[in-house]
């Protein structure tokens, strides 16, 4: 169970009625039979909620515990709190996370709010996409560290002095 003073709406995830589009805001996915919740903030709440529901029903959501409870009973309650600013959405999310009682019902954040890419405004989306790291693109300092061959001499623990051998 959680509380917030924010104005919002809620609906069943299995509802077939049309849902009002919400841009910026906070959302909560609440598993009806267990009361377990995931809290999220997004610049595109409706899309983010739909993506999360599809992942949960397809058992591919990053929150494995919520995947498991949804596999047993798929009924979720979706709570949506529209805001005008990202800061206001973050404030609501913080209030909700702090009010989840008992604490074990809070399964975590889904704070995947996508920040606008400055390069996209300049028509250069490739600059914001993560670049894969290949072995050939690594510098020497980034190369994987290998452990030295095993030696018969014991290594001194850090913070201790080595004894001088006679």
Q: What is the pLDDT along the chain (166 residues), one digit of tens a residue?
A: 888 888 999 899 887 666 788 999 999 999 999 999 999 999 999 999 999 999 999 999 999 999 999 999 999 999 999 999 999 999 999 999 888 888 878 887 764 444 444 443 444 334 444 434 444 444 444 444 444 444 444 445 544 455 555 5
Q: What is the 8-class DSSP label of residue 135? A: G
- Whether the Cβ atoms of residue 80 and residue 22 lie closer than 8 Å to each other: yes
- Whether the Cβ atoms of residue 21 and residue 82 lie closer than 8 Å to each other: no
Q: Could you tell me the domains of the chain?
A: 9-111 (3.40.1440.10)
pLDDT of 134 reads 40
Structure tokens at 142: 């980034």
Q: Residue 83: what are its φ and ψ, rounded to 5°?
A: -140, 165
End-to-end CA distance of the chain: 70
């Amino acid at each position: 169970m959680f509380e917030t003073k924010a104005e919002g709406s809620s609906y069943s995830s299995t509802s077939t009625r049309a849902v009002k589009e919400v841009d910026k805001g906070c959302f909560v996915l609440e598993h009806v039979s267990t009361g377990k919740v995931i809290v999220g903030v997004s610049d595109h709440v409706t899309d983010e909620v739909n993506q999360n529901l599809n992942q949960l029903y397809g058992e591919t959501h990053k929150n494995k515990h919520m995947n498991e409870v949804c596999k047993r009973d798929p009924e979720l309650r979706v709570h949506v709190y529209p805001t005008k600013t990202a800061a206001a959405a973050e404030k609501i999310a913080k209030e909700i996370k702090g009010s989840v009682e008992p604490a074990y019902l809070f399964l975590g954040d889904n704070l995947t709010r996508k920040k606008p890419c400055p390069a996209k405004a300049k028509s250069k989306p490739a600059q914001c996409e993560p670049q894969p790291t290949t072995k050939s693109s690594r510098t020497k300092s980034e190369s994987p560290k290998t452990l030295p061959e095993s030696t018969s001499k014991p290594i001194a623990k850090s913070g201790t002095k080595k004894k001088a051998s006679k």
